[in-house]
Amino acid sequence: MDKHRRIVITGIGVISSLGNDLASFSRHYLQGKLPEIQERTVVFLETAYLQKIMALPSWEDKSVPSAHRRRMSLLSRMIAVTAMQCLENANLEKEKWAQLGLVIGTGWGEQETVHKVIPQVILEESEMVPFPTLFHNSVHNASAGYLGMILQSQGPAITVSQEEHSFEAALENGMLLMDRGHSRAVLAGGADEFFDFAVLEERKSPFPADTISSGSCFFMLETEEDARERKARIYARCSFLPPGKLDESTIEEYSEEVKSSLAGGKSPDLALFTGPIDDRTEMLARSFLARIFPTPVPEIFYGSYPSRPTQGAERFLESLVMLESQSVPLQLKKDAGIDHPSGILLVCLTGSRQCRLFYLQQGEQ
């Protein structure tokens, strides 16, 4: 693989059920606080469904100009607000916004808007066209369009929608844009909005069991050189390792590829596995790790299915919080036996065992 540029995280923005800014998210995460859950009744056509969702805290969106705000969906506003939080947190000079790359990962995209448009186009008795604003807001990249206008950014603006790897693929794309010289700085993130169709997903029961959520996390990516030059705060260095697939026939070749890309660098203090992980996947994952690192690396499996496709963005943020604060939640300390991680390997898996790997290392060293 070509040599990557050294990429660092210099800004964070978050709206989630654990907090609507970095400080409250970090505090709640390290305290081991569980997100609040509420029940909400959704009426889909004429059937009522009860859905458990993670409560989203109230949040201000004054950073978004009102001319845009009144047209935007909740998803677009969440994305705009977290992106602005992120820019503020990164303290990136405004003149650099014009060439920023934007990479947004979203699994569900604008489905809530689609839900509003469809009833307008299925009336057969008359000529019916939807409201034009609703229509152009129904595309997955509506948020990227609004964000580009707000920031007046003419850099690449990409929207990735790859189910439970939407955020991970977006982050990878952001880093590729920098590696390939298309952007010097990239705002990359993941966001999803709870939408009413979700209650019908693979179940026709009026009382679905899964808890789902809304939220958005954004990260400012810069080259280490640029960040140091402008004396930016560095949360972590981030490298992406070769993506691949964890199965019996490829694990040997794949682990060798990952091992060689690490080129004998320092082993991580902790490996976090995210995504839907069954017993077979867990066994393969352990074997994969053992093949790469000569000494055992403490590992944690976040085995549950994500409560939204871009839940991985929060796992990424949690890792940054641990590296920045040099502490871990009590439960994780008990499970993994570590308390001051300086390097975390995020192993992000999908149901078909597609694997994306991000290696985060403490920034200010």
Partner 1 sequence: MVRVVITGAGTICSIANRYDEVGPSMKKCVHGIGPVTLFPANTGHPVAEVKHLEAPDKKRFRTSLLAEKAMEDALSKTGALGNRTGVSFSTCTMGMLEMEQSFIALKNGHGSDLSFAKSLSAGSIANEISCRYGFSGPVASFSTACSSSANALACAFFWIRQGMCDAVVAGGSDSLCRLTYYGFQSLKVMSDTPCTPFDVNRKGMNIGEGAAVLLLESLESAKRRGSPVLAEVMGVGLSADAYHMSAPHPNGEGAYLAMKKALEEGSMSPEQVDYISAHGTGTRQNDVAESIAIGRLFANHCERMYVNSIKSYIGHTLGAAGAMAVVFALNSMEQGFIPPTIGLQEPDPECRVLHPPSSGTEARVETILINAFAFGGNNTTILLRKFHG
Does residue 138 bind partner 1 (CB under 8 A)? Answer: yes
Does residue 308 bind partner 1 (CB under 8 A)? Answer: no
Q: How far is residue 179 from each of residues 1, 123, 182, 223, 331, measured CA to CA in Å?
A: 12, 49, 8, 9, 37
**Span 12-51, contacts to partner 1 by CB under 8 A:** 45
Q: How many CA atoms lie within 13 A of 108 on its CB side?
A: 29
Does residue 321 bind partner 1 (CB under 8 A)? Answer: no
Does residue 356 bind partner 1 (CB under 8 A)? Answer: yes
For tokens 């026939």, the residue is: 249
Which is closer to partner 1, CB of 172 or CB of 299?
Answer: 172
Beta strands per DSSP E along the chain: 7-15, 37-44, 47-54, 101-105, 157-160, 185-192, 211-212, 215-223, 236-245, 270-274, 299-302, 343-349, 354-362
Which is closer to partner 1, CB of 34 or CB of 149?
Answer: 149
Q: Contact at 8 Å (CB) between 9 and 235?
A: yes
Number of residues that bind partner 1 (CB under 8 A): 78
Among 135, 286, 300, 338, binds partner 1 (CB under 8 A): 135
CB of 284 to partner 1, least distance (A): 13
Nearest CA to 173 out of 340, 163, 161, 164 is that of: 161
CA–CA separation, 41 and 279 (whole Å): 34
Selected range binding partner 1 among 56-64, 297-305, 322-330, 348-356, rule: CB under 8 A: 348-356
Selected range binding partner 1 among 29-37, 175-183, 288-296, 340-348, rule: CB under 8 A: 175-183
Does residue 350 bind partner 1 (CB under 8 A)? Answer: yes
178 three-state secondary structure: helix
| DSSP structure string for 69-113 | HTT--HHHHHHHHHHHHHHHHHT--GGGGGG-EEEEE-SSTTHHH
Does residue 166 bind partner 1 (CB under 8 A)? Answer: yes
Does residue 200 bind partner 1 (CB under 8 A)? Answer: yes
**Span 216-245, contacts to partner 1 by CB under 8 A:** 242-245
Among 96, 197, 291, 300, binds partner 1 (CB under 8 A): 197
Which is closer to partner 1, CB of 52 or CB of 245?
Answer: 245
Question: Exposure of 326 by Cβ count < 10 A (0-12 exposed, 13-18 middle, 19+ buried)?
Answer: exposed
Nearest CA to 363 out of 325, 312, 327 is that of: 325
**Span 105-124, contacts to partner 1 by CB under 8 A:** 107-109, 111, 114, 117-122, 124
Nearest CA to 192 out of 171, 214, 222 is that of: 214
Does residue 141 bind partner 1 (CB under 8 A)? Answer: yes
**Span 52-71, contacts to partner 1 by CB under 8 A:** 71
Q: What is the dihedral of CA 307, 17, 110, 117, to 10 degrees?
A: 100
Does residue 198 bind partner 1 (CB under 8 A)? Answer: yes
Does residue 156 bind partner 1 (CB under 8 A)? Answer: yes
Does residue 352 bind partner 1 (CB under 8 A)? Answer: yes
Which is closer to partner 1, CB of 22 or CB of 75?
Answer: 75
Does residue 202 bind partner 1 (CB under 8 A)? Answer: yes
CB of 132 to partner 1, least distance (A): 4
